[in-house]
A and B are shown apart, each in its own frame.
Chain A
Amino acid sequence: MSPSIPLQEMIRAIRSARTQCEERGVIQRECAAIRAQFRQVDNGGARSHNLAKLLYVHMLGYPAHFGQMECVRMIASPRYSEKRVGYLGAMMLLDEKQDASLLITNSIKNDLAHSNQYVQSLALCTLACMGSAEMCRDLAPEIDRLLRASNSYIKKKAALCAVHIVRKVHDLGELFAPAARSLLAEKNHGVLHGAVVLITQLCERNPEALERFRKTVPDLVQIMKGLVISGYSPEHDVAGISDPFLQVRILRLLRILGRHNETASDAMNDLLAQVATNTDSTKTVGNAVLYETVLTVLDIKSESGLRVLAVNILGRFLLNNDRNIRYIAMTSLQRIVGTDHNAVQRHRGTIVDCLKDQDASVNRALELSLALVSASNIRTMMKELAQAASGIFHAAERYAPSQRWHIDTILHVLTTAGGDVRDETVPNLIQLITNTSELHCYTVHKLYRALLTDISQPSLVQVACWCIGEYGDLLLKGECQETEPSQVTEDDALDALETVLQSHMSSPATRGFALTATMKLSTRITENVDRIRSIVSIYGSCMDVELQQRAVEYNALFRKYDHMRYLTSVLYVIGSNEEAVVSISVRCSLQVCDLLDLLGGSEEPLQPSTALGLPNSTSTAGGDLLDLLGGLELTPLAPGLTHAHTHTHTHTHTHTHTHTHTHTHTHTHTHTHTLVETEREPEVKNLTKTKLQTETSSLRIK
C-alpha cells in the first residue's frame, strides 16, 4: 500500500494535473489511501491530515461520504487538532439530513462542558451551524447554562447558538428569554451583539416576547448613544464609526420594537435623529448605519420631521457616486412609495435621472418612476421617461423578471413615447428581440398588431417591419401560446408592409425597413412571391434614390440569383449610414454570388439563417456571409469597409459555452455578435501561465 502524502503536497499534485482525467486519477488514488488509513486504528498525527485531505477533495466536488464516520471518531478524540478537523468535517459533511449527525450529539454535549474554552467553542460553532431540531432540543439546556455562567468568549457564542436553536425549535425561545435580557447589561461588544441578535430572533418569532422586550428600549437607546457619542475606541472602530455591526443590529431591533407602538417609537425618536445627523456618510460603513436608521425611521411611528429627514437621506444616497448606495436608495424608496408618496415625489427628478445610468439601479428606477406617474404629472413624466428610454431598455434587458415582461415594457414605451425615442434604440431592440428566441412568435404577433393600429411612431414601425420580415414565418403560422390565436395570411402581412411603404407618415428610413422586410418575406412565403416581386419592382422607379437603389438590387437578386435571396436574411441595417450600407451590403451579396458563380459555387438554396442582426459593420456582415458560405476564401468584398468594424468585448468562461453575446457601448450604439470558438485555445494556454500570477496577487491591494 502506498504511503499517502501530506495535505499540501496532495493539493499541489491535484493542481498540476493538466486534464480533468489526470485530476480524477490523482484524487482516486488519494481517496483509496485515505480510506485505507481510516480503517486503521491509530496513525499518530496523520488522522487529521487524512480527513483534511478528504475535505479538500470534497470541496472540489468529489464524493466524500465515506469520511462521515471518521468525523464522528475524530470529534471524540482527546487531541485538539483532531477535534478541530473533525468538527470542521462534521460541518461540511454531516448536515442534519445525514443519520450520522445524531451520533455526534453526545460528543458535543461533552465538549460543551469541556474545561478548555476552545474545545467548547468548537462544539458551539458546530451546533449553531448544522444542529438538527432534535440535537437542538437535546442540548438547549446546556446552551442556556452557558448563557448564564461562563466567560464572554463563550457567552457570545452561546447566544448565537441559541439563535440557531430558536430558529429550529420555536418553542425553545421561552427558555432563553430571561438569559437574553440579562445579557444586555454586559459590556463586552461580542456578547452584546449576540444578545441583540438573540432578542431580535425571539421577538420576531413570538409576539408575547415582543411585548416583554419592549421594556428594553431605553437600555438599547443607552447602549446606542454610548456608541455614537463615545470617544474613539480603537478596538471597535471602523472608519470612524464605533462598532458599526453592533449599531446596525441595535437599530434593527429598535425597528421591531417600535413598530406599531407609539411609546416605544417616541422613546427612540431622539436617538434616531442623532444617528441620522451625526453619522459620517463618506464611507460605506457609515452609510450602512444610515441605511439601517432610515429603515427603522420609516417603519416605526416616527415624527413627520424625522420621516422627512430619512427620505432626504435616501435622496442623498441617490446622488452618491457609489452605485451600491444608489441601488439601496432605490429599493428603499420603492418600499415606501406607497405610504410616503409625496416625500418620494420630491426626488422624482433624481430618480428619473438614474434611468440614464446603465446599471442595476436602473430597473428599480424604472419601477419607481412608473409608480410615481399620476394624472397630474403624466405629461412631464412621459417626456422625462422617453428621454431616459434607452436607459430603460438597458435596464429591462439586464434585469427583467422575465423576457416577456421585457418585451412588453419595450413595446409599452415605444407605443407611448415612441416619437421621442432616439434612433439608436431601434438596433438595441432588434438585438434584444433576436436574443429572445423563445418569444419570437409572441413578439412578432404583438408588433404586427401594434402596426395595424398605429403607424405613426417611427421606431415602433421600424422594429415591427423588421420583425415581420425576419419572423414572417412565425407570424403566418398562426399559433402562439402567449397571445390569442389569429390567422394572419400572407396577404395580410404584405398589406401591412405596403401600408407602411405608401404612408406619407413613413420616413425614407422607415420605408427602407418595410422594403427590406418585404424582400425577406419572399423567402418565407410560398404563394405571393409575385406580389413581392411587383412591389419591389415598383420601387425600382421610386423618387427616393436610396429606396430605388435598394429595390433595383433586390430585383437583381430575384432575377439572377433566386436562391441567393436567402442572403437578405443575413442583412439588416440600422444606423446613421443605413441607406448606403444597405446597398453596399446587397452589392456585396451580389458580388459574392458572382464570385461563387466563378468558383462554380453552390446550387442548393442556402437556408435562411436565424437572425444575425449586423448593423453598420459590413466587414462583419461580409464575415458572416463567409460563414454561411462555409468559409470560402474570398478577398475583402469592398474597399474601405473595414473602418466600420466595431471593437468588441467578450466574456469567456472556459469550461462552459463558446457562444457569447457582446455589448458595445460606442457612440453609434452598435452591436456585434461574435462566435468565440477561436478564443478558447489561447485561454486554456494562458491559464497555467497566468493562473499562478493571479493567484499570488494579494487580496488587499485593490
Chain B
Amino acid sequence: MQFMLLFSRQGKLRLQKWYVPLSDKEKKKITRELVQTVLARKPKMCSFLEWRDLKVVYKRYASLYFCCAIEEQDNELITLEIIHRYVELLDKYFGSVCELDIIFNFEKAYFILDEFLLGGEAQETSKKNVLKAIEQADLLQEPRHEYFNVPVY
C-alpha cells in the first residue's frame, strides 16, 4: 500500500498514512485531487478506480470514506478486506465507532493502524492479537497531567 486516507463526505481529512516519501506539497495535491475524485463517484459505482498509475480502493462507512492506494500487483479485493478489518478494529476499540471518535482520538486511530499495518503491509492477521497489543501498549502510557495543574513559567 502506498497510502491510506480517511475523509468525511465534506472532504475533511480525518487520517492520512503515507508509506511513500513525498513532499508536503505533493501530499496535499494528491489528497485534494483524490478526495475530489472519490467524492464525485456515485453510490452504485464500483469500489475500484484507476488513478494516475495507481489502483485506488475505497469504501464508505457511514460518514467516512476509507481510501487506499495500492500498486499494480496488489489484490484489490483483499484490500477491501484490509479496510474492513481496520474498521472492525476501531469498532472493537472504541465500541461502536463513529467519525467523532476518530476526530477526537485521532492519535489512537493511528496507533491502532500502526499495530495492524506496517510499512503498508498487514503485520498481524489475527484481530485478537492486534487488540491485545494495543491494550498492553495503552497500559504503558503514563497518566496525563491536567494542564491547569502544571505551573506556567
Q: Which A residues are in CB contact (< 8 Å) with B88?
A: 700
Chain B, 103-138, CB within 8 A of any chain A CB? 103-104, 106-107, 110-111, 114-115, 118-119, 121-129, 133, 136-137
Question: Does A130 lie at the interface of the complex (its beta carbon under 8 Å from any beta carbon of B)?
Answer: yes
Within 8 A of B (CB), among A366-402: none
Decide: B121 and A163 in contact? CB cutoff 8 A.
yes
Distance between A246 CB and nearest chain B CB, rounded to angstroms: 6
- List A contacts of B152 (CB < 8 A): 1, 3
- Given contacts A80-B141, A130-B21, A190-B123, is CB(A88)–CB(B62) below 8 Å? no
A139 to B8, CA, bound (A): 38
Chain A positions within 8 Å of B136 at CB level? 118
* A694-B99 CB under 8 A given contacts A46-B145, A288-B75, A324-B77: yes
Contact partner of B45 (CB less than 8 A), chosen from A3, A46, A359, is: A359
Q: Whole-angstrom distance between the alpha carbons of A160 and B97 in the complex?
A: 29
Per-residue interface assignment for chain A, residues 188 to 213, with 1 indicating a CB less than 8 Å from any chain B CB and 0 otherwise:
01100110010000000000000000
Point out the residues of chain A lying under 8 angstroms from B127, CB to CB: 235
Residue pair B9, A245 in contact (C-beta under 8 Å): no
Q: Please, which residue of chain B has its CB at the minimum distance from the CB of A283?
A: B81
* A649, closest chain B residue (CB): B42
Contact A125–B114 (Cβ < 8 Å): yes
Residue in B10, B45, B48, B141 whose CB lies within 8 Å of A654? B10
Partner of A701, one of B13, B46, B62, B100: B62
A95 on the B face (CB < 8 A): yes
Whether B53 is near chain A, meaning CB under 8 Å from some CB there, is: no
- List A contacts of B119 (CB < 8 A): 128-129, 160-161, 163-164
Given A46-B150, A190-B126, A695-B99, check contact A118 B121 (CB 8 Å): no
Contact A55 B107 (CB under 8 A): yes
- Which residue from B10, B47, B129, B147 sits with its C-beta under 8 Å from A324? B47
Shortest A151–chain B CB gap in Å is: 12
A163 to B75, CA, bound (A): 18
A193 in contact with B76 (CB, 8 Å): no
Q: Which of A4-12, A272-280, A428-436, A615-623 participates in binding chain B?
A: A4-12
Judge if A481 is at the interface, Cβ distance under 8 Å. Answer: no
Chain B nearest CB, measured from A622 CB (Å): 29
Q: Is the CB of B125 within 8 A of A190?
A: yes
Q: Is the beta-carbon distance between A160 and B123 smaller than 8 angstroms?
A: yes
Q: Are B133 and A153 in contact (CB under 8 A)?
A: yes
Q: Quick one: given A56-B106, A80-B141, are A696 and B11 in contact (CB under 8 Å)?
A: no
Q: Is the CB of A3 within 8 A of B147?
A: yes
Question: A699 and B19 in contact (CB under 8 A), knowing A88-B110, A156-B123, A160-B119?
Answer: no
Residues of B contacting A49 in the complex (Cβ-Cβ under 8 angstroms) = 144, 147
Q: Is the CB of A80 within 8 A of B63?
A: no
Q: Is the CB of A84 within 8 A of B125?
A: no
Flag if A284 contacts B107 (CB, 8 Å): no
Q: Does A323 contact B (CB under 8 A)?
A: yes
| Alpha-carbon gap, A650 to B29, bound state (A) | 26
Contact B77 A245 (CB under 8 A): no
Q: A700 touching B91 by the CB < 8 A rule?
A: yes
Render A307-327 as a binary contact track against B, CB cut-off 8 A, 1 for contact: 000000000000000011111
Q: Judge whether A285 is part of the interface by a CB distance below 8 angstroms.
A: yes
Closest-CB distance, A7 to chain B (whole angstroms): 8
Cβ–Cβ contact B39 & A653, under 8 A: yes
A513 adjacent to chain B (CB < 8 Å): no
Whether A328 and B76, one on each chain, are in contact in the complex, defined by CB atoms closer than 8 angstroms, is yes
* Cβ-based interface call for A43 (8 A): yes
Minimum CB–CB distance for B153 against chain A, Å: 6
Name the B residues within 8 Å of A45 (CB-CB): 142-145, 150
User: Closest approach, in angstroms, between the C-beta of B69 and any C-beta of chain A?
Assistant: 15
Across-interface contacts of A40 in B (CB, < 8 A): 153
Looking at the assembled complex, report how far the CB atom of B5 sits from the nearest CB atom of chain A, in whole angstroms.
11
Contacts of A672 in B (CB 8 A): none
Residues A656 and B36 in contact in the complex (CB < 8 Å), given A236-B126, A696-B98, A699-B99 = yes
Q: Is B80 in contact with A324, judged by CB distance below 8 angstroms?
A: yes
The answer to whether A700 and B153 have CB atoms under 8 Å apart is no
* B34 adjacent to chain A (CB < 8 Å): no
* Cβ-based interface call for A176 (8 A): no
Q: Flag if B78 contacts A3 (CB, 8 Å).
A: no
B78 touches A248 (CB 8 A): yes
A170 CB within 8 Å of chain B: no
Contact of A695 among B8, B15, B44, B145 (CB under 8 A): B8
Instruction: Please list the residues of chain A having a beta carbon within 8 angstroms of any beta carbon in chain B.
Output: 1, 3-6, 8, 11-12, 15, 40, 43-46, 49, 52, 55-56, 59-61, 79-81, 84-85, 88, 91, 95-97, 116, 118, 121, 124-125, 128-130, 132, 153, 156-157, 160-161, 163-164, 189-190, 193-194, 197, 235-236, 238, 243-246, 248, 252, 284-285, 287-288, 291-292, 323-328, 359-361, 651, 653-656, 687, 691-692, 694-702
Q: Given contacts A95-B22, A702-B61, list 5 more A-B pairs with CB under 8 A.
A: A11-B104, A121-B115, A238-B81, A291-B77, A656-B36
Can you show 27 pairs from A to B with CB atoms below 8 A apart? A1-B152, A15-B103, A45-B144, A46-B145, A46-B150, A60-B13, A80-B137, A80-B141, A95-B22, A118-B136, A121-B115, A157-B118, A197-B121, A235-B126, A235-B127, A245-B81, A284-B80, A288-B80, A324-B80, A325-B77, A328-B48, A359-B44, A359-B46, A653-B39, A655-B11, A695-B100, A699-B91
Which 4 A/B pairs are nearest by Cβ-Cβ distance?
A128-B119, A288-B77, A45-B145, A699-B61
